[in-house]
Amino acid sequence: MKVILVRHGETKANKEKRYSGWTDFPLTEDGQKQVKKLQKLLENEKIDLIYSSPLTRTYNTAKAIAKKLNKDIIVTDSLKEMNFGIFDGKRVDEIVKEHKSEWNNWTNDYINYRIPKGESLNDAYNRVISFIDGLKKEDKTYLLVTHGGIIKIILTYLLDLELEKMWHFRTSTGCLLEIEYKENYGILNRLICK
């Protein structure tokens, strides 16, 4: 199995360093330019299936790439970003001011603490890994258009790293990564980020 992971183009929330989980933010002009670069990078790829998160920023990124490849998109909630609940749409300084106790709880146990009205990192991990395990059943090339946090989860899983290691990866907007998964291990073949 080969998995090509693409992070959506830049949004206003990315630019303003806001948590943007399930809140829908459109692509900026720079984000649209990043999508054009992704189209060019992927125009000759042999992709079997394209999956996308349903959020506008990812779906519009996937739609542009799919059009270039003449492929359909399968939309799945499994690839949605982590649900940041009461933190969504806010910068860290705003979160600390408005939800200090919850922020402290999350930063002390970011894997297991479920953000009010949201999910824990472990919840997101289980959602995503269940989806990835389904893909492993066939030797195909998948293009997954998703979010920064979800890409980090997939990387740690397919490269057999502890979830805590996800912070060792930076996945900028418009980023492309390719992992080849054989038998029981993954190989990072390609990484194109700013």
Tens of pLDDT, residue by residue, the chain (194 residues): 999 999 999 999 999 999 999 999 999 999 999 999 999 999 999 999 999 999 999 999 999 999 999 999 999 999 999 999 999 999 999 999 999 999 999 999 999 999 999 999 999 999 999 999 999 989 999 999 999 999 999 999 999 999 999 999 989 999 999 999 988 889 999 998 86
Read off the pTM: 0.95
The DSSP call for residue 28 is -
Residue 112 resides in a domain: no
SS3 string, 42-74, reads: HCCCCCCEEEECCCHHHHHHHHHHHHHHCCCEE
Residue 101 resides in a domain: no
Residue 188's pLDDT is 94
Q: Which domain holds residue 150?
A: 2-84+120-192
Residue 103 resides in a domain: no
Residue 159 resides in a domain: yes
Binding-site positions for substrate read 7-14, 57
The enclosing domain of 6 has a CATH number of: 3.40.50.1240
Binding-site positions read 7-14, 57
Residue 31 resides in a domain: yes
Count of domains observed in the chain: 1
Residue 102 resides in a domain: no
**Active site positions, annotated:** 8, 81
